[in-house]
Amino acid sequence: MLPLRYASRWRAASLILLAFVLCSTLMPAVWFWDDRYKVLSRFDSVDKWLHGITFLMLALWFAGQYSNRSYWKIGIGLLAFGFGIEICQRMVSYRTAELYDVGADAVGIILGLAIGVAGFGGWCLRAEERFAKHQQ
């Protein structure tokens, strides 16, 4: 982890974020296909897009807290989390598990970490520095 002033808070927020994503993926997905939200049903494979975007954001979140040398660990950890989600979805009757979802997760992870390598990584340090400047 980067030398963050509020490292324990970042870790707690990370756990809350992962729990939120897990809970969201295990909730019934009926609202996506509800008549009130027909705009979402017009997109092909909206579920894959949601997986990809979610894991892109998770990769960016963790890229902000860890150095580039740890990105491969972030990638493996998030991919394992994606597999875990699919295993959990297989255990409930109202969701389906698909290997293509893990593929969408992997694409999101790769894109997110690539954005981190391109200069967005370490954003937590920059955020803490700005916060510290505003506190003075």
DSSP category for residue 34 = S
**3/88 Cα distance (integer angstroms):** 34
- Using the Cα atoms of residue 31, residue 57, residue 113 and residue 28 in order, give the sign of their dihedral: negative
Q: Give per-residue pLDDT as tens, 62-79.
A: 999 999 999 999 999 999
Report domain extents, the chain.
7-38+46-135
- Using the Cα atoms of residue 34, residue 35, residue 36 and residue 40 in order, give the sign of their dihedral: positive
* Closest to 92 measured CA to CA, from 45, 23, 21, 44: 23
| % the chain with pLDDT above 70 | 88
Given a contact cutoff of 8 angstroms between Cβ atoms, the answer to whether 32 and 40 are in contact is yes
What integer pLDDT is reported at residue 34 of this predicted model?
Answer: 55
Q: Give per-residue pLDDT as tens, 24-47.
A: 999 986 655 555 555 555 555 788
Q: Give per-residue pLDDT as tens, 100-112.
A: 999 999 999 999 9
Q: Is the pLDDT of residue 2 over 90?
A: yes
Cα 21 to Cα 2, 27, 39, 131, 133, distances in angstroms: 24, 10, 23, 27, 32
